[in-house]
A and B are shown apart, each in its own frame.
Chain A
Amino acid sequence: MKGGLSEFFAMGGYALYVWGSFGATALLMIAEPLLVRQRRKAALQRISRLVRIKSEQQS
């Protein structure tokens, strides 16, 4: 790392390709866990509702 930050980001002229690849990958690998968490939240909410309805019917 002699040339500093701007040289690092320039990637020897391959900036678009290197950052286009790593950027898209990062985006997907951040989005997927978030979607998985969303799905879990939704599932738990639905089940909580189901349990509540059942207990109301019993009482």
Chain B
Amino acid sequence: MSGRLSLYRFSSPAAFYPLAGTIGKIAALIAVVLLAIGLYMSFFVAPTDYKQGEGYRIIFIHVPSAWMSMFIYLVMAFWAGIGLVFNTRLSSMMAQALAPTGAIMTFIALWTGAFWGKPMWGAWWVWDARLTSELILFFLYIGFIALQGSIDDTRRADRAGAVLLLVGVVNIPIIYFSVKWWNTLHQGATVSVTEGSSMGTIMLQTMLIMTFAFWAYSIAVAMYRVRSIILEREKDTRWVSELPEVRR
């Protein structure tokens, strides 16, 4: 009972604000440590690929960012859906806080994909199912940010954004399974839940460390951003005006 109560307590922005600060700090620390280890392994521990030489090292940011781009979208859609159904203010703020980070992860996935495609396929870009659906994901993020920014009434902006996000969820399985459903230039899944991994152990470990690093980074940035969003939206409340960081 008390566990339920304390969980509900944190759905109030005033209670979540300090918690977000603590989570953000821990996540930032983890991100820095894992990024340092992951980058070191990416360049000095992971061996040269027998087929792609040193060029394959792009995988260590390409795959983590592509995974994060999809995962952040799902988390956003989840929070937006909760906000839509239960009218909880904080869940809509969480969705809003994740959007720029998701857009950046998608951009990184597309950018590093282009820089990997050029030497290996001979083209920066091809209109193939995987690439196109990932580009659509980028537009969904941008569309969500633009839509929320264009509506002055916060509640209506949250609702409109949530609907857009929930409709766009269709795109996620399309991205994920595109390499199976269509003939494509993009290689198949390197790591699969059902078939395990097709890469070397050290390469896989490096990629997973980088994935956790990107994960921690995203949590940290989103937590710090949600604190600003809480401040902006609750600026007229008493608890905000009594915060120690507000100068009088």
Q: How far is the CB of B181 from chain A (nearest CB, A)?
A: 27
Given known A32-B100, A47-B246, A48-B247, contact A20–B57 (CB-CB < 8 A): no
Given known A28-B108, A29-B217, contact A17–B228 (CB-CB < 8 A): no
Cβ 8 A contact of B54, one of A18, A40, A43, A55:
A18
Cβ 8 A contact of B232, one of A14, A16, A43, A52:
A43
Given known A39-B228, A40-B224, A51-B246, contact A17–B116 (CB-CB < 8 A): yes
Q: Are B241 and A47 in contact (CB under 8 A)?
A: yes
Q: Tell me the residues in window 31-59 of chain A with beta carbons closer than 8 Å to chain B beta carbons.
A: 32-33, 36-37, 39-40, 43-44, 46-48, 50-52, 54-55
Question: Considering only CB atoms, which chain A residue lies closest to B241 in the complex?
Answer: A51
B119 within 8 A of A: yes
Q: Are A47 and B58 in contact (CB under 8 A)?
A: no
Neighbouring A residues of B231 by C-beta, 8 Å = 40, 43-44, 47
Q: How far is the CB of B203 from chain A (nearest CB, A)?
A: 15
Cβ 8 A contact of A51, one of B100, B107, B248:
B248
Given known A11-B57, A18-B58, A21-B58, contact A48–B115 (CB-CB < 8 A): no
Q: How far is the CB of A7 from chain B (nearest CB, A)?
A: 10
A4 within 8 A of B: no
How far is B43's CA from A16's CA once the two chains are assembled, in angstroms? 15
How far is B153's CA from A21's CA once the two chains are assembled, in angstroms? 39
Question: Considering only CB atoms, which chain B residue lies closest to A50 in the complex?
Answer: B235
Q: Tell me the residues in window 85-136 of chain B with beta carbons closer than 8 Å to chain A beta carbons.
A: 100-101, 104, 107-108, 111-112, 115-116, 118-119
Interface centre among B53, B58, B227, B243 (most CB of A within 10 A): B58
Given known A28-B107, A52-B248, contact A11–B54 (CB-CB < 8 A): yes
How far is B111's CA from A24's CA once the two chains are assembled, in angstroms? 8
How far is B61's CA from A25's CA once the two chains are assembled, in angstroms? 8
Cβ 8 A contact of A32, one of B43, B221, B227, B240:
B221
Q: Are A12 and B55 in contact (CB under 8 A)?
A: yes
How far is B54's CA from A14's CA once the two chains are assembled, in angstroms? 7
14 pairs of residues in contact across A and B, judged by CB atoms under 8 Å: A11-B54, A12-B48, A14-B53, A14-B54, A14-B57, A17-B118, A18-B54, A29-B104, A29-B217, A33-B221, A43-B235, A44-B231, A44-B247, A50-B235
Give the interface of B toward A (CB within 8 A).
43-44, 48, 53-55, 57-58, 61-62, 65, 100-101, 104, 107-108, 111-112, 115-116, 118-119, 217, 220-221, 224-225, 227-228, 231-232, 235-236, 240-241, 243, 245-248
